[in-house]
Structure 1
Amino acid sequence: MAMGRAHVSTDRPVAGRFRPVEITHRETNRVRWYADDLRTGRPFLVTRIGLPPDAGDAVRRAPSRVLRTAGIVSRLCPERTATVVETAVEGGFLWIVTAWIDGTPLDDVLAGEGAFDPVRAARTGLDLLDVLDAAHAGGLTHGELSPGEVFLRPGGPLVVAGYGLTGTTPAPRLTAPSYAAPEQARGEPAGPAADLWALGAILYALCEGRAPFRDRGRFEATLRGVDRLPLRAPVRAGPLTPVVQGLLCKEARERPTGAAVREALARVVREDTGVAPTAGPDTRPRGGHSPALLCAGREVSRRAVVLGAVPAAAGVAALVLAATRGLSGTATGTSSGPPPASASGPTGSGPPDSGRDEPEPGGRGAAPAPTGPPGSAGLPPGYRTLHAPEGFSVALPAGWQRLDTSGVSGLAYRVTFGADDDPRRLAVTYSERVGTDAVAVWRDDVEPLLRRSGGYRRIGGIRATTYRGREAADMEWFTAADGTRVRTFGRGFLLGGGRGFSLRWTTPADGWAEPGSREALRTFLRTFRP
């Protein structure tokens, strides 16, 4: 099945409104961008999917089908599936715009951390099964499930994207053919059993570090392999081996039911911890539970699952201790500071995600940094990428330069950037003496020193997150510098082995919400690379 290859310039906004800025994810026949909404400045995700040339009339129906299906599944499983806000067919591609998801796709997590242990894989599988059960109870099949469509989030349950694609064209599978079920590979319609196959393939990949069937570079060849080749037996799945092999039975009718899979995964978690995870409601028709409750049934255990998975999960390279004990004393005032960016403030909280019109204080104004190398492409006018000799790079506004550098015995340093005629500052701090808990670094090492400075007041709580696949934390606060009240946003992230970076963005308090300041913070977070 050949997919469309027409060239589409991302200089042209999708649907006339959403401007792709930087690629955050690539998967077979699927590319995802971080995008700006030209009307509101809010961050979104834009996904491009190639369409088969023989799709015919189905192409015209695809956008409305995706919108409709995504809306239904969002009601069935609130806050657990991507919110689709716009769809379009342009240049031979299907474009899907979703609200920003503050999380990292599973395949990016695997690429950054390696395979999961069986217990962590089982917990992730239980979370994913919650979503599948709710959708199946409502008569909806995903049909395109793969690790690229499952986002791990630092502060909440995982989120599933991609609903509504299956059936939009005659093609058995539009993306990620190595996760297609054998019946899809044979051109048969996808049902709930195909989603359970994909769950098994994802569990296999989490444990083994690779898909059960490799992508052969051509859709047809990959699908033939899925259908005809025997499964390579998992070697690292441990107690998950029986359920993974059962889910990956070639014949759909031989695969275990969702209820049996749930019990098997829960047993693996229970035997490891000695505590049974809160089971989701029985999803069989006789159960009588509303579909939405299926996603809420394991909220107690889910927080521990997600927080345990996030440090390894995904993309957060920004919050770690902005300071060690040696440097944190210099971190007040102009060397710290910030407007919003996936932080929470007195009138808004949480990472940029969905459903709010304007960025609020505390964090819906800037997006976490997507992955990809920094450079001039996609930068705001006048910005340039600086490569510091200390070993990091970041894009800075025109006229900005290094203003100050300080260090402690070769184990830590802080570099402060700005311009003489600009009161705003960006401080980049590195240390080799930070702990293993990003939140604790802000709370125990940095905040006690900040309290000694004039006018210190923290805004909201210290928020655990992830940045560029690493454990991170965000903190936001007010202080006084030279008689001026300033606001600072700090994001720190852990590198392991006692090492960590932090970014601190400081601006006069009365100017932190200005569009230029919001854009600057978004750009720093998006382009910083250790």
Structure 2
Amino acid sequence: MAMVKAHVSTSELVAGRYRLVDVVHRETNRVGYYGEDLETERACLLTQIGLPDDQGPDDARRATSRILRTSERIGLLRPGRVATVLDAVEEAGSLWIVTEWIDGTPLGALLAQQGTFNYVRAARIGLELLDVLEAAHVAGITHGELSPGQVFVGADGSVVVTGFGLAGATLAPRVAAPSYASPEQARDERIGPASDLWALGAILYTMVEGRPPYRERDRPETTLKGVDRLPLRAPVRAGPLTQAVQGLLRKDSRERLSRPVVREALDRVINDAPETAAQAMHRPRLRGRYAVGPTWGRRAMVIGTALAVVTVAAAVLVVTNGSQDDSDSAATGAAPTPSASAGAPTGQSPTAAPSTSPTQEETGTESGAGSKSPSTSPSGTALPDGFSTYTSPDGFSIALPEGWEPVATSRASDVAYRVFFGAEGDDRRLAITYSEALGPDPVAVWRDDVQPDLEERSGFQRIGDIEATTYQGYRAADMEWVSDKDGTRSRTFGRGFLIDDHRGYSLRWTTPEEDWDDAANRKALDTFLRTFRVPGD
């Protein structure tokens, strides 16, 4: 595949009439220039796209014809909101799209200058983009190339979109902006409106987080592989936009949010948070290093203890890591956070909670200096033989088998932690996680954030459906799965539950699969669920 030249001399003319003056923005295989039309003496925007090496003259003519035709159709539907294409020509292995000059700045350039936007500003831009996409989709047109380089923002906040008609005209849909391509585009499959909604979600994510959901790698193919296969790193600065962003970035196109749902979510952010806009403008930007670890959705960004709120959100993410590697999380210092999912009644399998990703300095391993009382559970009921109540320094309590104690604890500041319990010579494990940055839908957290991360593990297979339930009066969800570790097939039951709008716990119980139904293991799980108490209960 041919790539565009690293630069084009501004003394060159395109098609003998368009003078290139300055570069406006760059993306993979695409460069935008401020230019002059020598015939009309007007400013224009020229976009250069590299064409495949084997593209013939007929292919180039079809591409230019398609771009002109599509641009004219969408321009009639949303005049002033879509760039008017004046010309499209093939020259020296490149496709050149000439549009009227746009009185605005590419969104990508704005983000490069400003770092991040507050979520109200992001929602306003997102709503304008949604208006344009809705008009196109109703007319049967998919953009297929949407990225920050194709969105121009005026001084008044108005938005103009370029790039309609490129999808399918060249190979560009897979390489022009790989970190904004949908998973189906990454697999080179047929695309439709759902791909544009993914791109909208990716743009919203970038505006609030300061980086795309999937980072640009050294080769477009590597970036696309990451989009297709890697779990999403859950946003930590999106505030009330979080659910909309995660709903748009679901890997399965059939599960992405619909346009009406997205519109309602964006409207709500704009209308319900007028005061937050000013406050958000003064929030510290995410700077410094990124701490990577297991997360609810994938990996959490933790910038330091000073940014406690950011750390909390990061913590939520860690819990996505799979059950079989709870011990690995401890070893690597990845702090867990409770899952938004919550528990099922006794007798159902419990589900794991989210975990947190702390910086290395914030993560510590300790032997657990809690206390034990031997005879009764926190509720005052008698315990099974061989169990005694453990009270954590963090305030929760639970009945544990004799000889069991905390073997490791991982933390992210004071807002998320995971404690691992076990005994020497016992290959079973219990993990308890707490987090202060959980989403409101436990099932969605397991499905969209936890499971994609678990799927990267050897032999992962979910057992049954994710079950919405209640646990001790709290909203909860359960997920059960099997996986391989060090030659052993393990089975895990996780239960996560919310104790208020954003805080919660999870319990995760793992045994060798072949021992799962042993009476002693069933008794242990039942006892854990029956005796666990949050602080204050």
Aligned amino acid, residue 21 of structure 1: V
Moved more, 195-204 or 66-75: 66-75
Displacement after TM superposition at 1:155 (Å): 3.9
In structure 2, distance between residues paired with 1:102 and 1:16? 25
Q: Where do 1:299-318 residues align within 5 Å?
A: none
Q: Where do 1:65-464 residues align within 5 Å?
A: 65-155=66-156, 157-169=158-170, 172-273=173-274
In structure 2, distance between residues paired with 1:70 and 1:194? 19
In structure 1, distance between residues paired with 2:111 and 2:173? 27
Runs of 4+ with >4 A deviation: 4-10
In structure 2, distance between residues paired with 1:238 and 1:80? 28
In structure 1, distance between residues paired with 2:172 and 2:32? 21
Asked if the contact 1:3–1:53 (Cα under 8 Å) also holds between the matched residues in 2, the reply is: no
CA gap 1:123/1:156 in 2 versus in 1, 3 angstroms: closer
**3-state SS in 2 of match to 1:35:** strand
In structure 2, distance between residues paired with 1:160 and 1:14? 23
**3-state SS in 1 of match to 2:206:** helix
CA gap 1:156/1:213 in 2 versus in 1, 3 angstroms: closer
Displacement after TM superposition at 1:123 (Å): 0.9
Displacement after TM superposition at 1:71 (Å): 0.8
Displacement after TM superposition at 1:24 (Å): 1.7
Asked if the contact 1:123–1:265 (Cα under 8 Å) also holds between the matched residues in 2, the reply is: yes
Which residue in the other structure is 2:24 paired with? 24
Displacement after TM superposition at 1:204 (Å): 0.2
Asked if the contact 2:80–2:160 (Cα under 8 Å) also holds between the matched residues in 1, the reply is: yes
Aligned amino acid, residue 66 of structure 1: I
CA gap 1:221/1:54 in 2 versus in 1, 3 angstroms: farther
Displacement after TM superposition at 1:45 (Å): 0.8
Displacement after TM superposition at 1:47 (Å): 0.8
**3-state SS in 2 of match to 1:115:** coil
Asked if the contact 1:173–1:180 (Cα under 8 Å) also holds between the matched residues in 2, the reply is: yes
Displacement after TM superposition at 1:170 (Å): 5.2
Displacement after TM superposition at 1:40 (Å): 2.4
CA gap 1:254/1:34 in 2 versus in 1, 3 angstroms: same
Q: Percent identity?
A: 62
* 1:39 aligned onto 2:39: yes
In structure 2, distance between residues paired with 1:250 and 1:106? 25
Asked if the contact 2:18–2:37 (Cα under 8 Å) also holds between the matched residues in 1, the reply is: yes
Cα deviation 1:55-75 (Å, max 9, x = unaligned): 454333111111111111100
Which residue in the other structure is 1:62 paired with? 63
CA gap 1:119/1:273 in 2 versus in 1, 3 angstroms: same
Cα deviation 1:11-37 (Å, max 9, x = unaligned): 332122111111121122111111111
Cα deviation 1:255-310 (Å, max 9, x = unaligned): 010111000111111111399xxxxxxxxxxxxxxxxxxxxxxxxxxxx99xx99x
Cα deviation 1:210-268 (Å, max 9, x = unaligned): 01111113121111111011111111111111110110011100001011100011111
In structure 2, distance between residues paired with 1:99 and 1:258? 29
Asked if the contact 1:125–1:203 (Cα under 8 Å) also holds between the matched residues in 2, the reply is: yes
Asked if the contact 1:52–1:171 (Cα under 8 Å) also holds between the matched residues in 2, the reply is: no
**3-state SS in 1 of match to 2:174:** coil
Displacement after TM superposition at 1:2 (Å): 5.6
Unaligned segments of structure 2, at least 5 residues:
282-537
Displacement after TM superposition at 1:102 (Å): 0.7
Q: Normalized against structure 2, the TM-score is what?
A: 0.50
Aligned amino acid, residue 26 of structure 2: R
Asked if the contact 2:178–2:216 (Cα under 8 Å) also holds between the matched residues in 1, the reply is: yes
In structure 1, distance between residues paired with 2:76 and 2:166? 17
**3-state SS in 1 of match to 2:13:** coil
In structure 2, distance between residues paired with 1:156 and 1:250? 30
Displacement after TM superposition at 1:208 (Å): 0.2
In structure 2, distance between residues paired with 1:183 and 1:124? 25
**3-state SS in 2 of match to 1:47:** strand
Asked if the contact 1:22–1:33 (Cα under 8 Å) also holds between the matched residues in 2, the reply is: yes
In structure 1, distance between residues paired with 2:91 and 2:74? 25
Count residues with an aligned counterpart: 279
Aligned amino acid, residue 204 of structure 2: L
In structure 1, distance between residues paired with 2:214 and 2:6? 28
Aligned amino acid, residue 220 of structure 1: E
CA gap 1:252/1:2 in 2 versus in 1, 3 angstroms: farther
Displacement after TM superposition at 1:164 (Å): 0.6
In structure 2, distance between residues paired with 1:208 and 1:55? 38
Cα deviation 1:56-107 (Å, max 9, x = unaligned): 5433311111111111110011100011101111111110111010100111
CA gap 1:183/1:244 in 2 versus in 1, 3 angstroms: same
Asked if the contact 2:49–2:172 (Cα under 8 Å) also holds between the matched residues in 1, the reply is: no
Name the larger-Rg structure: 2
Displacement after TM superposition at 1:113 (Å): 1.0
CA gap 1:54/1:181 in 2 versus in 1, 3 angstroms: farther
Q: Normalized against structure 1, the TM-score is what?
A: 0.50
**3-state SS in 2 of match to 1:140:** coil
Aligned amino acid, residue 32 of structure 1: G
Asked if the contact 1:129–1:258 (Cα under 8 Å) also holds between the matched residues in 2, the reply is: yes
In structure 1, distance between residues paired with 2:92 and 2:59? 15
In structure 2, distance between residues paired with 1:15 and 1:258? 40
Which residue in the other structure is 1:52 paired with? 52
Displacement after TM superposition at 1:7 (Å): 8.2
> Aligned Cα RMSD in Å?
2.4
In structure 2, distance between residues paired with 1:170 and 1:42? 30
Displacement after TM superposition at 1:148 (Å): 0.7
CA gap 1:199/1:228 in 2 versus in 1, 3 angstroms: same
Unaligned segments of structure 1, at least 5 residues:
276-303, 310-530
Cα deviation 1:141-191 (Å, max 9, x = unaligned): 000000011010124621000111001035642411110000001011221
Cα deviation 1:410-444 (Å, max 9, x = unaligned): xxxxxxxxxxxxxxxxxxxxxxxxxxxxxxxxxxx
Asked if the contact 2:195–2:253 (Cα under 8 Å) also holds between the matched residues in 1, the reply is: yes
